[in-house]
Amino acid sequence: MPQTNPQPPLLTQRAAVILMLGILCAVAAAVLTVLAGGALASGFLAGGGAFVAAVLFFNMIIAS
């Protein structure tokens, strides 16, 4: 029995790509910070900052 009224997706493809790129940048920044000798808490803080900056950056350059 096919659905007659499917629900819209939770996220658009554009939003999913932007968030995925932000997460990848955050993980990279956190790992590099910890590998460079920083504390784990410093890695989390660097990752959080990188996530925010990456999401803002990719939101501006990826056409809507």
Calpha distance 5→8 (Å, rounded): 9
pLDDT at residue 61, as a whole number: 96
Query: For 3-50, what is each residue's pLDDT tens digit?
Result: 777 888 899 999 999 999 999 999 999 999 999 999 999 999 999 999
